[in-house]
């Protein structure tokens, strides 16, 4: 087996508790080159394997994007029509502009439509208090709800934070896109993805309900976190955060493992037509943002060091300029020794990161489950992993 230069660093990071165990996977577009390896234990004492089932959080978004684009292919919705036809709840939303001297919110009418393209690229103006200072201030003004929300409509019918298409703000667009898939298909996201994504790609261990599947429940691991001293400690019940919701949240409620998830990455990298038409994948990887939204995205990610790590997903923001596709952010410049320009990437809150480099023909992911998000060690080691894999891939192609 080839020697990979990143492995000693990952072993050391797990042994001295800088990482709570990690699964790494990579594959090329042909399926002939493959890397799968896991390291370490989490704070619960569970050994991590490449088939360990984790909360994949916002890695769910790529699957929901594919499901939504399948609706476009079937002619059920157009990327640029007003989604109000399918989501009338969004039709009444106004734009939150400012707060007056007494702290009361002020609004303006929405100008233009909210489209599926906007939802998939986080350029609709929809967000959530966890991401938007404006919505945090609004939540303080309103006070706590009488009872916890249980549906996407109840929880995410928040005012827009900018006019559609004029900015970029991470938020709830993919949760609403999941609602579009369910309403147009007549199936739950679980049923739909199993029939149209997970099944065709043989993604055996992916679900929104892992405890209902014995094989997944047996493989599911717990969440770890770093305390104020940097020590890894176990978290309990965190991965049940969606258990009291009535809806399936297509933006972040999925569970899966690295060896299943890489099959979707590899299919899109190869553009093999198994879940989407070739022209659809080409559109997904095309930069989508308006100039204003692109500027907003890059300024936001560079605003502070933590958000830089969270939002960059191992892109080097000292030189990179990002755009956004219909599935993840896109780097417009080469990363030396690894990602080529045009690479799509995103991740998940508990420090998961994936990438698809169609130019090089290589994709992969780092799966772990630890908080807080944006772990500095993960960002650094992910780049080392990529450089090692790209180096071995170049050797492999010469054989």
Buried b (16+ CB within 10 A) or exposed e, 218-237: ebbbbbbbbeeeeebeebee
Given 5, 52, 58, 379, the catalytic residue: 58
Q: Nearest 5°: phi and psi at 327?
A: 165, -20
112: how many CB neighbours lie within 10 A of its CB?
Answer: 11
| Cα 168 versus chain centre, distance | 15
Write out 73-124 in H/E/C secondary structure: HCCCCCCCCEHHHCCHHHHHCCEEEEECCCCCEEEECCCCCCEHHHHHHCCC
Cα–Cα distance measured from residue 38 to residue 368, given in angstroms and rounded to the nearest whole number:
10
Enter the tokens of residue 58. 């916002």
Cα–Cα distance measured from residue 220 to residue 163, given in angstroms and rounded to the nearest whole number:
41
Q: Is 224 a catalytic residue?
A: no
Cα–Cα distance measured from residue 266 to residue 91, given in angstroms and rounded to the nearest whole number:
37
Collect contacts of 279-283 with beta carbons under 8 A, ≥24 apart: 280/69, 280/72, 280/73, 283/69, 283/79, 283/326
Cα–Cα distance measured from residue 123 to residue 121, given in angstroms and rounded to the nearest whole number:
5
Element (H, E) at 197: none
- Helix, strand, coil tally for the chain in percent (to 5): 35, 20, 45
* Beta strand pairing call for 232-235 and 223-226: antiparallel
Cα–Cα distance measured from residue 393 to residue 399, given in angstroms and rounded to the nearest whole number:
10
Enter the tokens of residue 364. 């992969």
271: how many CB neighbours lie within 10 A of its CB?
Answer: 18
User: Could you give the residue numbers annotated as active site?
Assistant: 58
């Amino acid at each position: 087996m080839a020697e990979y230069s990143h492995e000693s660093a990952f072993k050391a990071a797990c042994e001295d508790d800088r990482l709570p165990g990690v699964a790494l996977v990579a594959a090329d577009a042909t399926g002939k080159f493959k890397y799968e390896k896991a390291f370490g234990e989490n704070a619960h004492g569970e050994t991590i394997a490449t088939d360990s089932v984790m909360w994949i959080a916002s890695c769910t978004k790529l699957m929901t994007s594919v499901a939504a684009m399948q609706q476009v292919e079937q002619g059920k919705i157009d990327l640029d029509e007003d989604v109000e036809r399918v989501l009338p709840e969004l039709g009444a939303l106004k734009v939150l502009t400012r707060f007056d001297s007494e702290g009361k919110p002020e609004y303006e009418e929405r100008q233009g439509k909210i489209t599926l393209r906007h939802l998939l690229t986080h350029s609709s103006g929809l967000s959530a208090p966890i991401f938007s200072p404006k919505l945090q201030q609004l939540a303080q003004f309103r006070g706590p709800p009488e009872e916890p929300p249980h549906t996407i409509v109840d929880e995410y019918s928040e005012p827009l934070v900018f006019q559609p298409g004029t900015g970029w703000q991470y938020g709830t667009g993919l949760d609403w896109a999941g609602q579009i898939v369910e309403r147009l298909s007549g199936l739950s996201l679980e049923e739909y993805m199993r029939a149209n994504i997970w099944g065709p790609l043989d993604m055996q261990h992916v679900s929104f309900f892992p405890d209902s599947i014995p094989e997944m429940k047996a493989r599911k691991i717990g969440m770890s976190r770093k305390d104020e001293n940097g020590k890894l400690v176990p978290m309990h019940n965190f991965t049940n955060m969606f258990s009291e919701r009535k809806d399936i949240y297509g933006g972040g409620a999925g569970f899966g493992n690295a060896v299943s998830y890489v099959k979707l990455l590899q299919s899109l990298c190869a553009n093999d037509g198994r879940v989407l038409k070739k022209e659809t994948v080409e559109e997904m990887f095309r930069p989508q943002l308006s100039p204003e939204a692109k500027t907003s995205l890059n300024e936001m990610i560079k605003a502070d060091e933590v958000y830089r790590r969270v939002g960059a997903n191992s892109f080097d923001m000292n030189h990179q300029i990002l755009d956004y596709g219909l599935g993840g952010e896109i780097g417009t410049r080469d990363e030396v020794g690894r990602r080529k320009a045009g690479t799509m990437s995103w991740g998940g809150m508990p420090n998961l990161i994936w990438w698809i480099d169609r130019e090089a023909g290589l994709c992969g992911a780092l799966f772990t489950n630890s908080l807080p998000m944006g772990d500095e060690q993960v960002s650094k080691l992910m780049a080392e992993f990529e450089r090692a894999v790209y180096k071995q891939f170049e050797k492999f192609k010469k054989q």
